[in-house]
Structure 1
Amino acid sequence: MRLRVTHANHRPTGQQDSAGRSAVSSDAQPAPAPQQAGTTETLQTVRDADGQVTSVVRRTLLPGGLRILSEQMAGVRSASVGVWIAVGSRDEEGALHGASHFLEHLLFKGTRERSAMDISVALDEVGGEFNAFTAKEYTCFHARVLDTDMALAVDVIGDMVTNSVITDEDVEAEREVILDEIAMHDDDPDDVVHNLFALQAWGDSPLGRPIAGSVESIESMTREQILDFYETHYRPATMVVTVAGNVDHDAVVRAAEAAFNRNGFLERTGTPVLPTITDAADPVTPGSRTVTRSLEQVNLVLGVRGLTRNDPRRFVLGVLNTALGGGTSSRLFQEVREKRGLAYSVYSFSSHHDVAGLVGVGVACLPAKVEDTLTVVRAELARLAAEGITPEELARGKGQLRGGLVLGLEDSAARMSRLGKAELVYDRLMSIDEVLEAIDAVTLEQVNALAAELFVQPEVLATVGP
């Protein structure tokens, strides 16, 4: 059953060129007037077939640039809270490699009002889930609680990001934890091969380096450097608060204003910091890299330059990626595993950033099967470039994407994440029906044209194994 979506505002979320967004896509449309500070807009109202409201998305822009988005969902008793900061490992240079992730860890260590134990107890005693993660372009602190505990979750996270103490002792203790985490990732061949793939593609650059940093950068990073990084990047204009579930927007705004008003944080001035929007992907460096490890299997990643996050062809790529290696009916699964028994697991993927992207294939096989496996994978990519996919594969790919989208957005945490990413890294918040329509609109000619463009490019290969 399709839902009816009403766009009650005049501006797609995030399109504020005057606030710093660089809209350089060849398909870019004239940007509507930016939202005024101190105002609230309704971005989407969704109704079911009977006209009952099932979802309302609203957005408030505070004077200092802090954005607060909520989605009121019918039929749930939870509230998922996220605080998104527009800083990640791609914002780090030289000695600051790993600073975003280091800082994410340190903000759990205590504030002027709560100890590290107090932070943990506050969410544990109400049965909440609480965590954080760092990506290449953003950092997120998130919690999922009962709807009645929404304000508590907002307050705890707001306290952490505006009021942390970051002591010398905490820095030294967490330094050891992160070094152990780096060692853990270094023991995982899948992590190693994907990091190696990015390094070959983008070199020793912020996009090409691991998010957690290196042993050398983490060992040498000082408390003063981390504090400077914190002051530079943790500002109202770089932050987005998103809440989804059984929530009232005005209550969310009141909770956020109270939680983020510590130490005069909301008194800072600024306009929202927004991403670059372009469909021109940076070039990659073709070639291969190998890391020798004493393993039973060889892990391989083979790929080419892909599309940027906001490229209008991203839905076309989604269908192509699904047909290539997105499930047990995909070409790679059938050819590599089912027909030839070369590997247990094989898949394709696409990774997107604001100005760069990659499309690739991942597979792990026995050392004796490496050459045969690479031969089959390369042959399938060449066949896709020359012949494209079939109408049956197009239909399956669309169906898989549609089902995955709808099923993946049935909980409040997924809806909260959707709001945060739309505001921080996408050009606007698309409704679910809009996305479904974009998938349905993909044609066989579009998929085959994109396959012919992508899979004739020089390859990037990463290998980890004996």
Structure 2
Amino acid sequence: MNVESTRLANGLTVVTDTMPGIESVAIGVWVRSGSRNEGEAEHGVAHLLEHMAFKGTRKRTARRIAEEIENVGGEMNASTSTETTAYYARVLKDDVPLAVDILADILTESLFDEEELAREQNVILQEIGAASDTPDDIVYDHFAETAFRGQTIGRPILGTPETVLSFTPAQLRRYLETHYTADRLIVVAAGAVDHDDLVEQVEQRFRSLAPMPANTPDLTPAVYTGGDFRHERELMDAQVLIGFEGRPYHARDFYASQVLANILGGGMSSRLFQEVRELRGLCYSIYAFHWGFSDSGIFGIHAATGSKDLPILVPVILDELRKATGDIDQSEIERSRAQIRAALLMSQESPAARAGQVARQMLLYGRPISNDELMDRLENITPGRLTDLAGRLFFDTTPTFASIGPLEGLMDFDAVSGTLSTGTTATAAAG
């Protein structure tokens, strides 16, 4: 890694990852603020602000923003997550100054015109409607809401139709001034980029950013609750999510949780895929995942199946979780490490992926982490450590259950909880 980092006088950090032999640059601004930073009356404002940043500034119309970047063959986009928001561009190396200028313009000079706001609110209402019509998407929203009941960390990022329509230009400006301060922003570029040149450009264009707000609201700590959500709908398939309290990024077991998720449901050779899909044919899709946040996490399994296989699906999954608490083979760990290493190295052939990876590391750890260090963290993971982790993950906390579709025959939540708390064989209980 050819990573350099500079912290400007106003607190903004500039990081570059130079990649010899390519002609393009991926550059972006990552903000340490997402949907979780919203107040009670601000549900959806972070995502709306991300949209509105492209809708006109003091010197550029929305159309001009799009035309200027596309006139040089570049592209721009943005995304909002639970704890961060990102604005990024991909351009040829000679066009980096233009990308910096546009990114600075949309983040420091946006107008938030009322007519543009009304149009974009309508766009997001359509986005919310589309998500509601997509069961394999909306089930994740219900899953997060159930895992963290009544908390901003569990709320859907898009907001609700009522909250989205309630926002005014003044509210957008207030959120921007509170959360988009220099101490919360990181500019990252990867590819054919010169560090000193980029620092000079960023220092010139982002100098108007306030170092930090006068009064930043404290982030409410996440409290995992777990629970049950079921929505009976006339669909061809049922979407089922089973989850448990995961580990935050800084926890010792974070990387072990990633490896365990890989072993259980990270590919075609994983335990759940082989047992549930290949040997039993109980579903057409199944995988495991681990989401880490700054102070909590979720370990989950998602499966999609027809109604006739639903009664036995969850018991078989629970039995595989129970087996993981007693026996994990070293060969499974080695395979998981190889998958993680290959994914890491393959992603680093892309400037956009490298910029995103460095940005996340800077936001979470305050420094870039080398590939060797990442792999070293995986070297200390043993079968005994994983079986111990599995026992604590699956049997020491209330599960989270979310399902949508034809749910007749789906295992009762109390039965799921009882099976996990006692460690009994679920398939035998299901008959």
**What is the match of residue 124 of structure 1?**
70
SS at match of 2:60: coil
Q: Aligned partners of 1:361 and 1:427: how far apart in 2?
A: 31
| CA distance in 1: counterparts of 2:25 and 2:146, whole angstroms | 41
* 8 Å contact from structure 1 (residues 388, 451) kept in 2: no
Pairing 1:332–2:278 present: no
| Residue identity (%) | 37
Mapped to 2, the partners of 1:237 and 1:177 lie a distance apart of 31
Conserved? CA contact 1:321–1:348, under 8 Å: yes
Matched, 1:400 2:339: yes
Q: Which residue of 1 aligns with 2:429?
A: none
Q: Is the aligned partner of 1:435 residue 2:374?
A: yes
CA RMSD of aligned residues (A): 1.9
Distance 1:111 1:92, change over 3 A: same
Measure the CA separation in 1 of the matches of 2:379 and 2:370.
14
Structure 1 distance, partners of 2:234, 2:168, is 35
Query: What's the CA shift for 1:427?
Result: 4.9
- Equivalent in 286, 297, 306 of residue 357 of structure 1: 297
Map of 1:50 onto structure 2: none
Aligned to 2:85: 139
Higher share of residues assigned helix: 2
Query: Could you say which residue in structure 2 is the equivalent of 1:320?
Result: 260
Q: Is the 8 A contact 2:153 2:222 kept in 1?
A: no
Q: Partners in 1 of 2:126 and 2:30 — Cα distance?
A: 26
Gaps of 5+ in 2: 407-431
CA–CA distance in structure 2, aligned partners of residues 119 and 323 of structure 1: 45
Deviation for aligned residue 1:241: 0.5
Q: What's 1:228 paired with?
A: 174
Corresponding position: 1:206 with 2:206: no
AA matched with 2:122: E
In the alignment, residue 205 of structure 2 is paired with which amino acid?
A
Matched, 1:462 2:402: yes
Aligned to 2:352: 413
Counterpart secondary structure, 1:425: helix
Cα offsets for 1:307-363 (capped at 9, x unmatched): 011212222112111110000000000011001111111000111111110101000
Instruction: State the AA in 2 paired with 1:239.
Output: L
Residue identity matched to 1:294: E
Q: How many residues align?
A: 402
- In 1, the alpha carbon distance for the partners of 2:203 and 2:402 equals 47
**Distance in 1 separating the partners of 2:276 and 2:41:** 42
Q: Secondary structure at the match of 1:338?
A: helix
Partner residue of 1:309 out of 243, 249, 253: 249
Partner of 1:384: 324
The CA deviation string for residues 101-153 of structure 1, in whole angstroms up to 9 with x for no partner, is 00000010011111111110111111112100000111100111111111111
Summarize the alignment of residues 119-198 of structure 1 with structure 2, pairs less than 5 Å apart. Answer: 119-198=65-144
* Alignment gaps of 5+ in structure 1: 1-54
Cα deviation, residue 392, structure 1 = 1.8
> Deviation of residue 428 (structure 1)?
3.4
- Report the counterpart of residue 448 of structure 1 in structure 2: 387
User: Given the two structures, how large is their TM-score scaled by the length of structure 2?
Assistant: 0.90
Is this contact kept in 1: 2:3–2:368, CA < 8 A?
A: no
2: distance between equivalents of 1:156 and 1:323? Answer: 43
> Take 1:104 and 1:430, find their aligned partners in 2: how far apart are those partners?
28
Deviation, 1:223, is 2.2
* CA distance in 2: counterparts of 1:394 and 1:419, whole angstroms: 26
Task: Give the Å deviation of 1:187.
Answer: 1.1
Counterpart CA distance in 2 for 1:328 and 1:402 is 17
Alpha-carbon distance in 2 for matches of 1:415, 1:63: 26
| Cα offsets for 1:214-259 (capped at 9, x unmatched) | 1111122222222211111121121111111111111111221232
Determine helix, strand or coil for the equivalent of 2:67: helix
CA contact (8 A) 1:315 1:438 kept: yes
Q: In the alignment, which residue of structure 2 is the partner of 1:422?
A: 361
SS in 1 for 2:360: helix
| CA–CA separation in structure 1 for the residues paired with 2:231 and 2:137 | 12
Describe how 1:274-293 pairs up with structure 2 within 5 A.
Answer: 282-293=222-233
Q: 1:254 corresponds to which residue?
A: 200
Q: Which residue of 2 aligns with 1:374?
A: 314
